[in-house]
Amino acid sequence: MGGTIAIRVAVAGASGYMGAELLRLLLVHPRVTLTGVTSERLAGEPLGSVYPHLRGLTDLVFHDLDAEWLAGACDVAFLALPHMESQKMVPVLRKRGRKVIDLSADYRLHDAADYTTWYKTAHVDPAGLAEAVYGLPELHRKAIAAASLVASPGCYAAGAILATAPLLKNGLGRLEGIVIDGKSGVSGAGAQGRKVDPMYLFTEANENVQAYAIGAHRHTAEMEQELSALAGERVRVSFTPHLLPLTRGLFTTASVPLATPLGTAELLNVYREFYAGESFVRVLGEGERPTTRAVVGSNYCDLTVVADPRTGRAVCVSALDNLGKGGSANGVQNLNVLFGWHERAGLEAPPVYP
Amino acid sequence: MGGTIAIRVAVAGASGYMGAELLRLLLVHPRVTLTGVTSERLAGEPLGSVYPHLRGLTDLVFHDLDAEWLAGACDVAFLALPHMESQKMVPVLRKRGRKVIDLSADYRLHDAADYTTWYKTAHVDPAGLAEAVYGLPELHRKAIAAASLVASPGCYAAGAILATAPLLKNGLGRLEGIVIDGKSGVSGAGAQGRKVDPMYLFTEANENVQAYAIGAHRHTAEMEQELSALAGERVRVSFTPHLLPLTRGLFTTASVPLATPLGTAELLNVYREFYAGESFVRVLGEGERPTTRAVVGSNYCDLTVVADPRTGRAVCVSALDNLGKGGSANGVQNLNVLFGWHERAGLEAPPVYP
Amino acid sequence: MGGTIAIRVAVAGASGYMGAELLRLLLVHPRVTLTGVTSERLAGEPLGSVYPHLRGLTDLVFHDLDAEWLAGACDVAFLALPHMESQKMVPVLRKRGRKVIDLSADYRLHDAADYTTWYKTAHVDPAGLAEAVYGLPELHRKAIAAASLVASPGCYAAGAILATAPLLKNGLGRLEGIVIDGKSGVSGAGAQGRKVDPMYLFTEANENVQAYAIGAHRHTAEMEQELSALAGERVRVSFTPHLLPLTRGLFTTASVPLATPLGTAELLNVYREFYAGESFVRVLGEGERPTTRAVVGSNYCDLTVVADPRTGRAVCVSALDNLGKGGSANGVQNLNVLFGWHERAGLEAPPVYP
Amino acid sequence: MGGTIAIRVAVAGASGYMGAELLRLLLVHPRVTLTGVTSERLAGEPLGSVYPHLRGLTDLVFHDLDAEWLAGACDVAFLALPHMESQKMVPVLRKRGRKVIDLSADYRLHDAADYTTWYKTAHVDPAGLAEAVYGLPELHRKAIAAASLVASPGCYAAGAILATAPLLKNGLGRLEGIVIDGKSGVSGAGAQGRKVDPMYLFTEANENVQAYAIGAHRHTAEMEQELSALAGERVRVSFTPHLLPLTRGLFTTASVPLATPLGTAELLNVYREFYAGESFVRVLGEGERPTTRAVVGSNYCDLTVVADPRTGRAVCVSALDNLGKGGSANGVQNLNVLFGWHERAGLEAPPVYP
- Strands, E assignment, B13-161: 32-38, 76-79, 99-102, 133-134, 149-151
Band of pLDDT at residue D100, cut at 50, 70 and 90: very high
- Tell me the β-bridge partners of A240: A181
- Specify the pLDDT at position B3: 52
Shared domain for A143 and A195, answered yes or no, is no
Evaluated on CA atoms A63, A67, A69, A73, the torsion sign reads: positive
- Specify the pLDDT at position C191: 58
Check residue C113 and give left, alpha or beta (phi > 0: left; psi -120 to 50: alpha): alpha
Of the candidates C42, C24, C44, the one whose C-alpha atom is nearest the C-alpha of residue C34 is C24
Strands C99-102 and C133-134: unpaired
Verify whether the Cβ–Cβ distance B200 to D198 is below 8 Å. Answer: no
State how far residue D236 is from chain C, nearest Cα, in angstroms.
Answer: 7
For residue C354, whether the previous peptide bond is cis, meaning omega lies within 30 degrees of 0, is: yes
**DSSP SS3 for B158:** helix
Shared domain for D90 and D214, answered yes or no, is no
Per the prediction, chain C carries an average pLDDT of 96
Shared domain for D125 and D171, answered yes or no, is no
CATH code for position C178: 3.30.360.10
Whether A2 is in a domain gets the answer no
Confidence check: pLDDT of D62 > 60:
yes
Confidence check: pLDDT of B136 > 50:
yes
Q: What's the pLDDT tens digit per position in D204-223?
A: 999 999 999 999 999 999 99
By the CB < 8 Å criterion, does C209 face chain A? Answer: no
Band of pLDDT at residue A297, cut at 50, 70 and 90: very high
Tell me which residues of chain B, numbers 292 to 321, contact chain A at a CB-CB cutoff of 8 Å. 292-293, 296, 306-308, 310-311, 313, 315, 317, 319
- Strands, E assignment, A63-118: 76-79, 99-102
Please report residues of A whose CB lies closer than 8 A to that of C243: none
Q: What's the pLDDT tens digit per position in A95-144?
A: 999 999 999 999 999 999 999 999 999 999 999 999 999 999 999 999 99
Confidence check: pLDDT of A3 > 60:
no
Whether B316 is catalytic is: no
Shared domain for D55 and D175, answered yes or no, is no
Shared domain for C285 and C205, answered yes or no, is yes
Check residue C334 and give left, alpha or beta (phi > 0: left; psi -120 to 50: alpha): alpha
- Nearest-10 crossing angle of helices A264-274, A155-169: 110
Band of pLDDT at residue D301, cut at 50, 70 and 90: very high
Whether B344 is in a domain gets the answer no
Verify whether the Cβ–Cβ distance A311 to B238 is below 8 Å. Answer: yes
Whether D264 is in a domain gets the answer yes
Band of pLDDT at residue A243, cut at 50, 70 and 90: very high
Shared domain for C217 and C275, answered yes or no, is yes
Confidence check: pLDDT of B1 > 80:
no
What's the maximum distance between 2 C-alpha atoms anywhere in chain B? Answer: 61
Confidence check: pLDDT of B256 > 50:
yes
- Specify the pLDDT at position A102: 98
Shared domain for B183 and B145, answered yes or no, is no
Q: What's the pLDDT tens digit per position in C108-121?
A: 999 999 999 999 99
Q: What is the mean pLDDT of residues B241-260?
A: 98
Confidence check: pLDDT of B42 > 60:
yes
Please report residues of D whose CB lies closer than 8 A to that of A20: 353-354
- Specify the pLDDT at position D2: 45
Shared domain for B230 and B332, answered yes or no, is no
Tell me which residues of chain A, numbers 17 to 56, contact chain D at a CB-CB cutoff of 8 Å. 17, 20, 23-24, 27-28, 51-56
Band of pLDDT at residue A189, cut at 50, 70 and 90: confident
Confidence check: pLDDT of D191 > 70:
no
- Specify the pLDDT at position A196: 74
- Specify the pLDDT at position D83: 86
Burial A315-344 (b: 16+ CB within 10 A, else e): bbbbbbbbbbbbbbbbbbbbbbbbeebebe
Give me the percent of chain A exceeding a pLDDT of 90: 95
- Specify the pLDDT at position B190: 58
Whether A343 is in a domain gets the answer no
- Specify the pLDDT at position C1: 41
Strands B237-243 and B210-211: antiparallel
State how far residue B54 is from chain C, nearest Cα, in angstroms.
Answer: 7
Catalytic residue chosen out of the listed positions C74, C155, C301, C316: C155
Shared domain for C280 and C333, answered yes or no, is no
**DSSP SS3 for D113:** helix
CB under 8 A, 24+ apart: contacts of B272-279? B273/B166, B274/B165, B274/B166, B274/B169, B274/B170, B275/B138, B275/B166, B278/B138, B279/B343, B279/B344
Whether B146 is in a domain gets the answer yes
Q: Which residues contact A87 (CB under 8 A, 6 or more apart)?
A: A106, A107, A123, A124, A125, A128, A129
Range(s) of the domain holding residue B283: 155-320
Q: What's the pLDDT tens digit per position in B83-133?
A: 899 999 999 999 999 999 999 999 999 999 999 999 999 999 999 999 999
Whether B199 is in a domain gets the answer yes
Q: Which residues contact C23 (CB under 8 A, 6 or more apart)?
A: B350, C11, C14, C34, C37, C47, C51, C54, C58
Confidence check: pLDDT of A2 > 70:
no
How many CB atoms lie under 10 A from the CB of residue B46?
15
Q: What's the pLDDT tens digit per position in A26-76?
A: 999 999 999 999 999 999 999 999 999 999 999 999 999 999 999 999 999
Q: What's the pLDDT tens digit per position in B18-29?
A: 999 999 999 999
Per the prediction, chain A carries an average pLDDT of 96
Shared domain for C101 and C228, answered yes or no, is no
- Specify the pLDDT at position D190: 58
Q: What's the pLDDT tens digit per position in C207-253?
A: 999 999 999 999 999 999 999 999 999 999 999 999 999 999 999 99
Shared domain for C276 and C307, answered yes or no, is yes
State how far residue D188 is from chain B, nearest Cα, in angstroms.
Answer: 10
Burial A125-149 (b: 16+ CB within 10 A, else e): beebbeebbbbbbbbbeeebbebbb
**Number of domains making up chain A:** 2
Verify whether the Cβ–Cβ distance C186 to A203 is below 8 Å. Answer: yes
Verify whether the Cβ–Cβ distance D293 to A353 is below 8 Å. Answer: no
Whether D345 is in a domain gets the answer no
Strands D313-320 and D301-308: antiparallel
- Specify the pLDDT at position C91: 98
**Counting one residue from B and one from C, how many pairs have CB atoms under 8 Å apart?**
85
- Tell me the β-bridge partners of C34: C9
Per the prediction, chain D carries an average pLDDT of 95
Band of pLDDT at residue B349, cut at 50, 70 and 90: very high
CATH code for position C126: 3.40.50.720
Q: Which residues contact D312 (CB under 8 A, 6 or more apart)?
A: D257, D258, D261
Confidence check: pLDDT of B81 > 90:
yes
Verify whether the Cβ–Cβ distance D208 to C293 is below 8 Å. Answer: yes
List helix spans (H) across chain C: 17-26, 47-50, 67-73, 86-95, 112-119, 126-131, 137-145, 155-169, 202-205, 219-231, 264-274, 328-338
Is residue C220 within 8 A of residue C239, CB to CB? The reply is yes
- Specify the pLDDT at position D281: 98
Q: Which H/E stretch holds residue D226?
A: helix D219-231
Parts of chain C with a pLDDT under 70: 1-4, 190-195
Confidence check: pLDDT of A226 > 80:
yes
Strands A76-79 and A99-102: parallel
Please report residues of B whose CB lies closer than 8 A to that of A246: 206-209, 245
Answer yes or no: pTM beyond 0.95.
Answer: yes
Shared domain for B305 and B237, answered yes or no, is yes
Whether D241 is in a domain gets the answer yes
Nearest-Cα residue of chain D relative to residue B51: D204
Q: What is the mean pLDDT of residues B137-165?
A: 98
Of the candidates B340, B354, D38, the one whose C-alpha atom is nearest the C-alpha of residue C322 is B354
